[in-house]
Structure 1
């Protein structure tokens, strides 16, 4: 059958799949967690590390959608070379027994392999043919809950076969059973918070908090509550899984967690009763009910904050999925007025998918960072709100 390319316990190569516009800070996160040779790609970053690093990334990273561990590379200029390359890529007797289910995800193309579904079918057939020759029986395909998730990327005459360590998208933290009408993905929210430079020592407020995702990701970041500690991973059933090393990395992540008392004031406002309750349910599911306060009501009626510095984060409706133009123009105009009058000295970061609405704020952005939110071209806008005098919150008009 040819020589198998067996994975090495050292020098693991991998790819982190990232939200568009977050490649740079995604690389910074990978490096902070011990990854080496980190290189930004389009909506991704490549990296190298040992097995401990790979485990650490699964447990502690906040930004990736997926973490792919490269297992083999081989020539792929059509169906025949793909079939042969897949069969020789790994010691499949060790990695994929017929009692296990699997799934194949494909990106890229080659001559005669122009559709990802068709290419995935060829990969599946190659493995099933091999299993039948070895055991006389085959694995089943499970798209939702497989035992092994394979990823094949085909590009310029080469195929890269990788293992997906989670099987499902890492943006799903598990705390968000309840979401609003236009939810912000959890890893995107974490990336937005990271871009603000907020260090978790000053207060943070979201005047239109919706289901609370920005608040939850900010609080989790401030207290170093890591998203991977409360989920199961497919890597735990890999043939070369190292249980003691995995336990060690879990313990390492747990010891970094901070108590709720270490968090600054983190509050949100939501005037819709049902959505406010959703936010509270999500906060509770995340174990952050002692850290985050969600007020049911209009932020325009809220008293000015006592602190004279902090960060306001906001993902108001853009008019694409929610709201109508006249109502939204009024919302943005009054949001700008409240922030200028009551939050002087604070920094505002607002996710905008509509330049006309953003203009209604009557504020001048200091920085504009392009990001993609659910396929929408957006900007993460930074405003420095004029500093108010210390007694301004006591004045009456």
Structure 2
């Protein structure tokens, strides 16, 4: 479609869905990329953006799971007002032809609408009934790759109907076919690195790197790689998609990705040879072989490059993997290695089990609450003396 300048600069209300604990960092990322009226919420941030900025956020944001563009908002006090509001508040003749598939997800609640599946069904029924009126036929539902992905949120007497332009969760970058036993989601890893303030100018080491996600997200951040460049987005099928504007933002994202390497080494250690090989495969798939070195070996034998630098790690918590007595030994040994090798360095550790973290016998200078897959964690910061 050609460019429609009348709408290119209109500010569109939207919401970024974020990991719990990264709301402030996610809000700052939105601001950095040009979003306006940004407000951190619980597990989300509300914002406004013109279409160019909305495209930019899809291509360049690291922290959100999803970006939801508001399509309509209407009063909703129950099932009937939801049904009629969906039919009347959107021009379905423009947005959803019967040849297109769709899906609906729902969150929140209203009177008589306490189950998300039922609320989503009401939206679906309202849409297909309107389609039958218009065309005598209806769209099919596709839960995997819908042409139009709708999201309903109910609350405070209102319904908000939004478009999800992502085409699957943004945390899936595409490089991680191979995963360890309890992988850290990519957007959470990116947020943890952002919270450390690491900028690529000092060495970064993960002594328990698993599938390498923290290191890959760090190197990608240091090189300015846009995580959305290789993705296919469902927003490309929106009724008002502006192909020229999208090409401009793709080009901007490509220019931002720096071919040069971070100036300091990025190193990982993994004892399990198979998992270390998985990590190397992930590094290669992310195009970062020249930036990251994965060593097969026990962290107890590591020697660090000249510092100062930063150690980051996400050791087992004992919730999904690892027996607690073994973990206390592991954490104690980790503290010994850090104190021996990383004097003057910073040390960041994601803790999901305060009992075993105590085995470090180190005092954290910061404790940032983070939810990792539903586990209540703390991103702990230590200054190593």
TM range (shorter): over 0.9
Cα distance, 1:357 vs structure 2: 1.1
Cα distance, 1:260 vs structure 2: 3.7
1:53-102 alpha-carbon deviations (Å, 9 max, x no partner): 10010000000010000011111111111111101122111110000000
Matched, 1:145 2:170: no
Report the Cα distance in structure 2 between the residues aligned to 1:329 and 1:309, rounded to whole angstroms.
27
Report the Cα distance in structure 1 between the residues aligned to 2:164 and 2:251, rounded to whole angstroms.
23
Report the Cα distance in structure 2 between the residues aligned to 1:384 and 1:18, rounded to whole angstroms.
28
**1:12-31 → structure 2 map (5 Å cutoff):** 12-31=12-31
Matched, 1:11 2:11: yes
Cα distance, 1:167 vs structure 2: 3.0
Paired residue for 1:320?
319
Paired residue for 2:35?
35
SS at match of 1:227: coil
SS at match of 1:25: helix
- Does the CA contact (< 8 Å) of 1:223 and 1:263 recur in 2? no
Q: Point out 4+ residue stretches in structure 1 off by more than 4 angstroms.
A: none
Report the Cα distance in structure 2 between the residues aligned to 1:280 and 1:377, rounded to whole angstroms.
29
Paired residue for 1:395?
none
Paired residue for 1:3?
none
Cα distance, 1:8 vs structure 2: 8.0
Aligned positions, number: 380
Paired residue for 1:349?
348
Report the Cα distance in structure 2 between the residues aligned to 1:292 and 1:70, rounded to whole angstroms.
40
- Does the CA contact (< 8 Å) of 2:104 and 2:151 recur in 1? yes
Paired residue for 1:361?
360
Paired residue for 1:187?
187
Cα distance, 1:356 vs structure 2: 1.6
Paired residue for 2:369?
370
- Does the CA contact (< 8 Å) of 2:335 and 2:361 recur in 1? yes
Paired residue for 2:286?
286
Cα distance, 1:280 vs structure 2: 0.6
Report the Cα distance in structure 2 between the residues aligned to 1:378 and 1:329, rounded to whole angstroms.
17
Report the Cα distance in structure 2 between the residues aligned to 1:242 and 1:84, rounded to whole angstroms.
30
Gaps of 5+ in 1: 1-6, 387-397
Question: RMSD of the TM alignment (CA)?
Answer: 1.2
- TM-score scaled by structure 1? 0.94
Report the Cα distance in structure 2 between the residues aligned to 1:227 and 1:56, rounded to whole angstroms.
11
1:25-73 alpha-carbon deviations (Å, 9 max, x no partner): 1110000000000001110000011000100100000000100000111
1:347-382 alpha-carbon deviations (Å, 9 max, x no partner): 000000111211111211111111111111110000
Paired residue for 1:227?
227
Paired residue for 2:4?
none
SS at match of 1:107: strand
Cα distance, 1:118 vs structure 2: 0.6
Paired residue for 1:383?
382
Paired residue for 1:44?
44
Question: Residues 251, 85 of structure 1: CA spacing in aligned structure 2 closer, same or farther, 3 A cutoff?
Answer: same
Report the Cα distance in structure 1 between the residues aligned to 2:8 and 2:105, rounded to whole angstroms.
23
Paired residue for 1:241?
241
